[in-house]
């Protein structure tokens, strides 16, 4: 018991600085925002100042707009997380090999990740431009399209464009994490597998994939949280358009707060977003744990 | 010795402490502006310097991009970060209802109101009271590439919507331009601005004189139908749905459009060799009308307002008046037209602002339409952008969309 | 026999190089276009049909960034903002790594009551979107006189980067065998010594990867900075880049220049530290 106490004291000492920097500044806004979601503080409302109970949650959850937003948010989150994880792993496997130019490739793979989001959004918007975008010019030159297309002005393609733009920038992050994890795998295990007659694909399934599981987990959860909260790229590229086809929960939260002045609605959205993300994270963790048992 | 030194130090410290309030006695205002071409940061800084020199009042101007104005104003509103703010003309009603800006009716009434354009003045009004001082004056115009139009055998810019469509057809049929008309129909405020012009030209309005919504009026439906039809017929560029003002300008400047509706700034930009290949080809003209209205344009002005948290209201008002004074507006009219009617006869203003711009403005200013000056406008606008786009994409009829919008507006007005 | 192995090896290598080239094209394509945009004249940029190889190029925009001395010129603002961003990002990275690593170790290897609940609480703060919290936050910062200063921004960034570091690093620590700790304790090392001399060196590649990530999260942050900075004293790079957008205009050329310059520092940092990420982990016995 004494040892336990000593261990706890030691843990407390190690954790306290983090607690101060994490909660020191934002604990008040976190609580205030929670209060806002229960009390009407919308400056334009005639019910301003009144206690609303779960009124805002009921209103939000029963509105069609919220569920449409959620669907689009999930579309973006799942598509881009899947692309980043899949291609991140493939590229990392490639870069983990030895072939001429691999060193250079390992260096340049970082570049998209280093480009500021503000620039990335504008860059893709420029390249996808329907009048003078380079992507249209290239596709036309190679006869893949007959005339210039409006990629960002078409509700069917706009979200796909944002997924591509965002994945292009963020896949390198997954590559780096996978590469670091691949380096940690004991090479002698591969030797042993080869002696036992396993082909590369078999040893990938039996050795590499299990070893990468924690990393996959980190990347999937991390990217899910970030994607769900993604704002800048939508703000820069489409502003929720065309015809709301890229309006996500996060963008709607922004509109509620800074265009419509519905602060209480925005606070409600914020907590629902956090809850949804937390839920998704828990589901991931459960799935991963179950996978371990098998 | 040591003691004297300590005493001297304490004395010095006390003196310096006393000295602080002496400096603080002079009033310092915090003002929020926008980074832009008309009244550039240099212009505003120069005006501010002149103001400080003549009054002794210090001003700290902050400049942010247009998109960042609203978040900046709203986050600081509760705690009083800025005294004077520049706002879009669609905000005063919202800000007034939210209690963010001060009522300045008495001060505005003391001005020579007959000399200020009514449209600019109206944009600061909510429930009969003024909440700001008009400053930046801007409306939309029709820009016509006369060279391309002449190739189609037409000599004069269209004066009516019918002529516009007929001219566009000629240009398209003769292969002069694939998509003669271009608009900024992206999901953004610019779409509502364009629709306001067209609806106005068809004799429509979004609210009646008592600010009751009239979105689904027959005129509004006809106007939206006309916009959708132009797209459907390939007369209007289908890429308009991803365009904001700047894309319209660059399409026009690349010679890929004959007709464009845009703000005053396009005139200078399309005649700038660095960014335009149609220098000297474009004309600035009033937006075409119908038999119901000779023309119509949308107010895009920006008024100055005093925040509710301002502690030096008199000084703030003096500063606003100074910025909007005839003297300053005449001096800095190269990229922004004055709000004062009397300045438009001043030969120097005409020369600086450009003869063609002034001439077009003298007609266009008589047909200014304000977007609804109601507190819920911004929220209504986000719905309008979506519904109008659905019509332009052919997924809804104009009647359906505008009926839906009317319901939204009624609900918002009732809140 | 030997020949066939080497020819198969050669074939594999050719295949690898082919895919490597493909990756390089996808990665570099947009970067090349960004560079071309930065040196093309505005007229050529919007010309249709587009010329893929510009005829005349201009480095005026770069010159403007480096030569401009007017405080109202976005180019000058950008230069100062780069410095602000760098100072903020370095501070955030160092502080968050120190603070976060200690906690991550505690979460991964120590037993204490309420551990899971605390971890969830920390993660939950990371999940809350900033848009909704910014208004109360602004009020606090205004009362404290923390607006438009660099270090309050550091504090703010730490509040969402530290949770992230704790979470990622505890995973790295978790994968390190406990036997190291036991062995060290048998040798008479204190807990702190074990952490400093045993765990940290093994976790270094992870720490460096996480540190780079923290740097980029801070370097890239836009929304908080937008609201809490207003002058050259603290304005950061992404906010300065956003100022190349006018009310109706987007200056793609300048945004590209800013993009190139804004990416240089992170690229250099990653290239330098990448060696540690890739070579750092010694094989064998590190992981369970």
Q: What are phi and psi of B307, to 5 degrees?
A: -80, 155
B67 vs B181 pLDDT, higher one: B181
Q: What is the mean pLDDT of residues C187-206?
A: 78
Collect all residues of chain B within an 8 Å Cβ-Cβ radius of residue A265.
none
Confidence band for C11, pLDDT divided at 50, 70 and 90: confident
Q: What is the mean pLDDT of residues B149-171?
A: 95
pLDDT tens digit sequence for C256-285: 998 899 888 888 887 787 766 554 433 333
Rounded distance, CA A210 to CA B246, Å? 52
Q: What is the mean pLDDT of residues B10-27?
A: 48
Strand partners of residue C287: C176
| Residue B304 confidence (pLDDT) | 96
Q: Which two tokens stand for residue B286?
A: 């009033």
In this complex, which chains have at least 3 CB pairs below 8 Å with chain B? A, C
Query: Both ends of chain A: CA-CA distance in Å?
Result: 35
Confidence band for B239, pLDDT divided at 50, 70 and 90: very high
pLDDT tens digit sequence for B101-139: 999 999 999 999 999 998 889 889 999 999 999 999 899
Q: Which of B12-16, B61-65, B232-236, C202-206 has the lowest mean pLDDT?
A: B12-16
| Residue C279 confidence (pLDDT) | 46
What are the average pLDDT values for consecutive 10-residue runs of chain A, which has 294 residues?
Answer: 70 90 88 92 87 93 95 96 95 90 87 90 92 90 88 94 96 87 80 84 86 84 88 91 93 91 92 90 76 46
3-state SS assignment for residue C257: helix
| Residue B403 confidence (pLDDT) | 97
Interface contact A241-B240, CB threshold 8 A: no
Rounded distance, CA C87 to CA C84, Å? 5
B79 vs C239 pLDDT, higher one: C239
Residue C43 has pLDDT above 50, yes or no: yes
Note whether B139 and B365 are within 8 A (CB). Answer: yes
| Residue C284 confidence (pLDDT) | 31
Residue C61 has pLDDT above 90, yes or no: no
In the DSSP assignment, the letter for residue B217 is -
Residue B42 has pLDDT above 80, yes or no: yes
Which one of A117-131, B345-359, B381-395, C2-16 scores highest in mean pLDDT? B381-395
Collect all residues of chain A within an 8 Å Cβ-Cβ radius of residue B188.
239, 241
Rounded distance, CA B360 to CA B284, Å? 7
Residue B5 has pLDDT above 80, yes or no: no
| Residue C280 confidence (pLDDT) | 40
Q: Is A276 left (phi over 0), alpha (psi -120 to 50) or beta?
A: alpha
Rounded distance, CA C155 to CA A27, Å? 13
- Contact residues for C209 (Cβ-Cβ < 8 A; gap 6+): A176, A177, A180, C277
Collect all residues of chain A within an 8 Å Cβ-Cβ radius of residue B382.
255, 259-260
Rounded distance, CA A256 to CA A238, Å? 17
Q: Alpha-carbon torsion B317, B322, B323, B325, what sign?
A: positive
Q: In sequence order, what DSSP letters do the residues of C211-225 get, joined into one string?
A: HHHHHHHHHH--HHH
Query: Which one of B71, B97, B389 has the shortest CB-CB distance to A243?
Result: B389
Rounded distance, CA A74 to CA A52, Å? 29
Stated pTM of the model:
0.88
B179 vs B22 pLDDT, higher one: B179
3-state SS assignment for residue B238: helix
What is the ipTM score, two decimals? Answer: 0.86
B234 vs C278 pLDDT, higher one: B234
Q: Which two tokens stand for residue C140?
A: 């606090």
Pairing verdict, β B297-298 and B58-64: unpaired
Query: Which one of B41, B72, B80 has the shortest CB-CB distance to C72?
Result: B41
**Per-residue burial over B249-270, b = 16 or more CB atoms within 10 Å of its CB, e = otherwise:** bbbbbbbbbbbbbbbbbbbebb
Cβ neighbours around A140 below 10 Å, total: 16
- Short-list A151, A159, A177, A168, CA closest to A245: A159
Collect all residues of chain C within an 8 Å Cβ-Cβ radius of residue A214.
171, 174-175
Collect all residues of chain A within an 8 Å Cβ-Cβ radius of residue B386.
241, 243-244
Query: Which one of C100, C124, C140 has the shortest CB-CB distance to A274?
Result: C124
Interface contact C256-A11, CB threshold 8 A: no
Please list the alpha-helical segments (H only) found in C68-114: 74-109
Q: Which of B70-84, B154-168, B394-408 has the lowest mean pLDDT?
A: B70-84
Confidence band for B4, pLDDT divided at 50, 70 and 90: low
Q: Which two tokens stand for residue B194?
A: 């364009």
- Short-list B253, B268, B304, CA closest to B51: B304
Q: What are phi and psi of B305, to 5 degrees?
A: -135, 160
Residue C111 touches chain A, beta carbons under 8 Å? yes
Q: What is the mean pLDDT of residues C9-29?
A: 91
Q: Which of B227-236, C87-96, C131-140 has the lowest mean pLDDT?
A: C131-140
Rounded distance, CA A50 to CA A36, Å? 11
Rounded distance, CA B188 to CA A234, Å? 13
Query: Which one of A152, A242, A255 has the shortest CB-CB distance to B389?
Result: A242
| Residue B17 confidence (pLDDT) | 42
3-state SS assignment for residue C177: coil
Collect all residues of chain B within an 8 Å Cβ-Cβ radius of residue C243.
35, 63-65
Q: In sequence order, what DSSP letters do the residues of chain A get, joined into one string?
A: -HHHHHHHHHHHHHHHHHHHHHHHHHHHHHHHHHHHTTB---TT-TTTT-B-TTHHHHHHHT-HHHHHHHHHHHHHHHHHHHHHHHHHHHHHHHHTS--TTHHHHHHHTTHHHHS-HHHHHHHHHHHT-TTT-HHHHHHHHTTS-SS---SSSSTTTHHHHHHHHHHHHHHHHHHHHHHHHHHTS-HHHHHHHHHTT--HHHHIIIIIHHHHHHHHHHHHHHHHHHHHT--HHHHHHTTT-STTTT--HHHHHHHHHHTS--HHHHHHHHHHHHHHHHHHHHHHHHHHHHHHH-
Residue C52 has pLDDT above 80, yes or no: no
- Mean of the per-residue pLDDT values of chain B: 90
Q: What is the mean pLDDT of residues C114-132?
A: 83
Residue C123 has pLDDT above 90, yes or no: no
In the DSSP assignment, the letter for residue B38 is T
Q: What are phi and psi of C110, to 5 degrees?
A: -115, 150
Q: What is the mean pLDDT of residues C248-256?
A: 81
Q: Which of B174-183, C17-26, C69-78 has the lowest mean pLDDT?
A: C69-78
3-state SS assignment for residue B312: coil
Q: What are phi and psi of C3, to 5 degrees?
A: -60, -40
User: Chain C residue closest to B41 (CA)?
Assistant: C72
- Contact residues for C108 (Cβ-Cβ < 8 A; gap 6+): C169, C170, C171, C173, C174
Which one of A60-74, A224-238, C55-69, C192-206 scores highest in mean pLDDT? A60-74
Residue C4 has pLDDT above 80, yes or no: no
Which one of B4-18, B23-37, B92-106, C69-83 scores highest in mean pLDDT? B92-106
In this complex, which chains have at least 3 CB pairs below 8 Å with chain C? A, B
Interface contact C48-B40, CB threshold 8 A: no
Structurally, at CATH architecture level, domain C67-280 sits in Orthogonal Bundle (1.10)
Interface contact A214-C175, CB threshold 8 A: yes
What domains lie within chain B, and their CATH numbers? 26-138+300-361 (3.40.190.10), 140-298+376-413 (3.40.190.10)
pLDDT tens digit sequence for A40-76: 988 888 888 889 899 999 999 999 999 999 999 999 9
- Short-list B97, B88, B160, CA closest to B120: B88
Q: Which two tokens stand for residue B86?
A: 């520049």
| Residue A216 confidence (pLDDT) | 87
- Contact residues for B175 (Cβ-Cβ < 8 A; gap 6+): none
Note whether A95 and A179 are within 8 A (CB). Answer: yes
| Residue B23 confidence (pLDDT) | 40
| Residue C278 confidence (pLDDT) | 53
A112 vs C199 pLDDT, higher one: A112
How far off is chain B from C254, nearest CA to CA, in Å? 14
Query: Which one of B63, B72, B263 has the shortest CB-CB distance to C248?
Result: B263
Confidence band for B24, pLDDT divided at 50, 70 and 90: very low
Cβ neighbours around B2 below 10 Å, total: 6
What domains lie within chain A, and their CATH numbers? 63-293 (1.10.3720.10)
Q: What is the mean pLDDT of residues B263-283?
A: 91
Residue C172 has pLDDT above 70, yes or no: yes
A/C interface, count of CB pairs below 8 Å: 295
Rounded distance, CA B374 to CA B98, Å? 12
- Short-list B287, B284, B288, CA closest to B264: B284
Note whether C230 and C180 are within 8 A (CB). Answer: no
C67 vs B303 pLDDT, higher one: B303
Cβ neighbours around B156 below 10 Å, total: 13
- Contact residues for B261 (Cβ-Cβ < 8 A; gap 6+): B140, B141, B142, B143, B183, B184, B194, B197, B248, B287
Query: Which one of B68, B76, B254 has the shortest CB-CB distance to C226?
Result: B68
Rounded distance, CA C150 to CA C139, Å? 17
Residue B47 has pLDDT above 80, yes or no: yes
B415 vs C2 pLDDT, higher one: B415
Alpha-carbon distances, residue B270 vs A239, B265, B332, C228 (angstroms):
27, 9, 21, 37
Confidence band for B58, pLDDT divided at 50, 70 and 90: very high
Does C49 sit behind a cis peptide bond, omega within 30 degrees of 0 on the bond before it?
A: yes
Alpha-carbon distances, residue B378 vs B11, C104, C169 (angstroms):
58, 46, 44
- Contact residues for A91 (Cβ-Cβ < 8 A; gap 6+): A109, A171, A175, C23
| Residue C287 confidence (pLDDT) | 39
Please report, rounded to a whole number, the percentage of residues in chain B having pLDDT higher than 90: 75
Does A51 sit behind a cis peptide bond, omega within 30 degrees of 0 on the bond before it?
A: no
Residue C48 has pLDDT above 80, yes or no: no
Q: Which residue has the tokens 């994939």?
A: A209
Collect all residues of chain A within an 8 Å Cβ-Cβ radius of residue C274.
106-107, 110, 176
Interface contact C72-B253, CB threshold 8 A: no
Rounded distance, CA A140 to CA A161, Å? 18
Query: Both ends of chain B: CA-CA distance in Å?
Result: 76
């Amino acid at each position: 018991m004494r040892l336990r106490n000593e261990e706890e004291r030691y843990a407390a000492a190690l954790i306290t600085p983090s607690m101060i920097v994490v909660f020191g500044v934002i604990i008040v806004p976190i609580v205030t925002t929670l209060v806002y979601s229960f009390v009407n503080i919308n400056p334009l409302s005639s019910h301003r100042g009144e206690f609303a109970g779960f009124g805002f949650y009921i209103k939000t959850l029963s509105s069609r707009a919220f569920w449409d937003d959620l669907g689009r948010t999930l579309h973006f989150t799942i598509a881009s997380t899947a692309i980043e994880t899949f291609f991140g792993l493939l590229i990392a496997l490639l870069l983990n090999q030895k072939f001429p130019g691999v060193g250079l490739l390992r260096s340049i793979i970082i570049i998209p990740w280093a480009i500021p989001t503000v620039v990335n959004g504008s860059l893709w918007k420029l390249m996808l431009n329907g009048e003078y975008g380079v992507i249209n010019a290239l596709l036309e030159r190679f006869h893949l399209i007959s005339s210039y297309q409006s990629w960002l002005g078409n509700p069917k393609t706009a979200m796909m464009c944002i997924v591509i733009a965002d994945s292009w920038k963020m896949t390198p992050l997954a590559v780096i994490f996978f590469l670091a994890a691949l380096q940690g795998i004991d090479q002698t295990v591969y030797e042993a597998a080869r002696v036992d007659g396993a082909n590369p694909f078999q040893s990938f399934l039996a050795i590499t994939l299990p070893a990468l599981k924690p990393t996959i987990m980190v990347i999937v959860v991390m990217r899910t949280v970030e994607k769900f909260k993604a704002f800048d790229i939508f703000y820069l590229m489409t502003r929720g358009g065309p015809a709301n086809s890229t309006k996500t929960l996060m963008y709607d939260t922004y509109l509620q707060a800074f265009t419509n002045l519905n602060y209480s609605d925005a606070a409600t959205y914020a907590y629902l977003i956090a809850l949804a993300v937390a839920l998704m994270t828990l589901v991931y963790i459960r799935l991963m744990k179950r996978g371990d048992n098998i | 010795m040591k003691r004297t030194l300590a005493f001297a130090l304490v004395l010095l410290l006390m003196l310096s402490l006393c000295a602080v309030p002496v400096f603080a006695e002079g009033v310092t205002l915090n003002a929020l502006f926008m980074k832009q071409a008309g009244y550039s940061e240099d212009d505003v800084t120069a005006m501010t310097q002149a103001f400080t020199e003549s009054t002794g009042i210090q001003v700290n101007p902050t400049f942010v991009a247009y998109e960042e104005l609203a978040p900046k104003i709203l986050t600081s509103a509760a705690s009083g970060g800025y005294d004077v703010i520049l706002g879009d003309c669609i905000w005063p009603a919202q800000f007034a209802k939210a209690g963010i800006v001060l009522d300045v009716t008495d001060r505005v009434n003391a001005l020579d109101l007959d000399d200020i354009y009514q449209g600019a003045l109206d944009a600061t009004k909510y429930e009969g009271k003024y909440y700001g001082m008009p400053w930046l004056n801007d409306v939309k115009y029709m820009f016509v590439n006369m060279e391309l139009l002449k190739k189609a055998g037409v000599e004069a810019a269209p004066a009516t919507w019918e002529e516009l469509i007929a001219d566009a057809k000629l240009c398209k049929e003769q292969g002069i331009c694939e998509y003669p008309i271009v608009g900024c129909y992206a999901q953004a405020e610019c779409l509502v601005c364009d629709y306001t012009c067209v609806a106005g030209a068809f004799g429509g309005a979004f609210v009646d004189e008592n600010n009751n919504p009239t979105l689904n009026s027959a005129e509004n439906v006809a106007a939206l139908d006309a916009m959708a039809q132009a797209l459907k017929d390939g007369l209007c560029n289908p890429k308009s749905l991803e365009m904001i003002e700047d894309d319209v300008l660059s399409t026009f400047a690349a010679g890929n459009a004959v007709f464009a509706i845009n703000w005053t700034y396009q005139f200078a930009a399309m005649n700038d060799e660095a960014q335009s290949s149609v220098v000297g080809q474009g004309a600035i003209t009033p937006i075409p009308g119908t038999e119901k209205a000779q023309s119509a344009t949308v107010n895009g002005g920006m008024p100055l307002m005093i925040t509710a948290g301002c502690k030096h209201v008199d000084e703030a008002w003096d500063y606003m008046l100074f910025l909007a004074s005839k003297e300053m507006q005449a001096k800095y009219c190269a990229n922004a037209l004055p709000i004062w009617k009397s300045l438009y006869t001043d030969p120097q203003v005409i020369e600086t602002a450009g003869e063609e711009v002034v001439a077009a403005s003298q007609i266009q200013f008589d047909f200014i339409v304000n977007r609804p000056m109601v507190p819920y406008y911004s929220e209504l606008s986000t719905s309008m952008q979506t519904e109008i786009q659905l019509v332009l994409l052919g997924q809804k009829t104009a009647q359906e969309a505008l009926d839906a919008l009317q319901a939204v507006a009624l609900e918002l007005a009732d809140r | 026999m030997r020949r066939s192995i080497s020819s198969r090896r050669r074939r594999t290598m050719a295949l690898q190089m082919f895919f490597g080239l493909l990756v390089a094209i996808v990665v570099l394509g947009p970067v090349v276009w960004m560079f071309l945009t930065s040196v093309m004249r505005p007229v050529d940029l919007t010309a249709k049909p587009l010329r893929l190889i510009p005829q005349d190029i201009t480095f005026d925009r770069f010159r403007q960034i480096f030569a401009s001395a007017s405080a109202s010129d976005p180019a000058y603002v950008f230069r100062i903002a780069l410095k602000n961003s760098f100072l903020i990002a370095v501070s955030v990275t160092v502080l968050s790594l120190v603070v976060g690593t200690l906690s991550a170790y505690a979460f991964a290897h120590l037993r204490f009551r309420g551990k899971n609940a605390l971890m969830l609480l920390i993660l939950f703060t990371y999940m809350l979107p900033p848009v909704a919290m910014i208004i109360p936050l602004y009020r606090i910062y205004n009362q404290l006189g923390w607006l438009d200063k660099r270090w309050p921004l550091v504090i703010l960034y730490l509040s969402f980067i530290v949770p992230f570091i704790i979470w990622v690093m505890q995973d790295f620590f978790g994968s390190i065998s406990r036997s190291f700790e036991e062995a060290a304790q048998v040798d008479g090392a204190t807990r702190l010594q074990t952490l400093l001399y045993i765990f940290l060196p093994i976790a270094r590649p992870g720490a460096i990867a996480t540190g780079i990530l923290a740097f980029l999260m801070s370097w890239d942050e836009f929304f908080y900075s937008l609201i809490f900075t207003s002058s050259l004293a603290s304005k950061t790079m992404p906010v300065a880049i956003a100022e190349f957008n006018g009310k109706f205009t987007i200056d793609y050329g300048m945004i590209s220049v800013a993009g190139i310059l804004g990416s240089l520092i992170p690229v250099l940092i990653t290239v330098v530290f990448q060696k540690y990420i890739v070579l750092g982990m010694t094989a064998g016995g590190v992981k369970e």
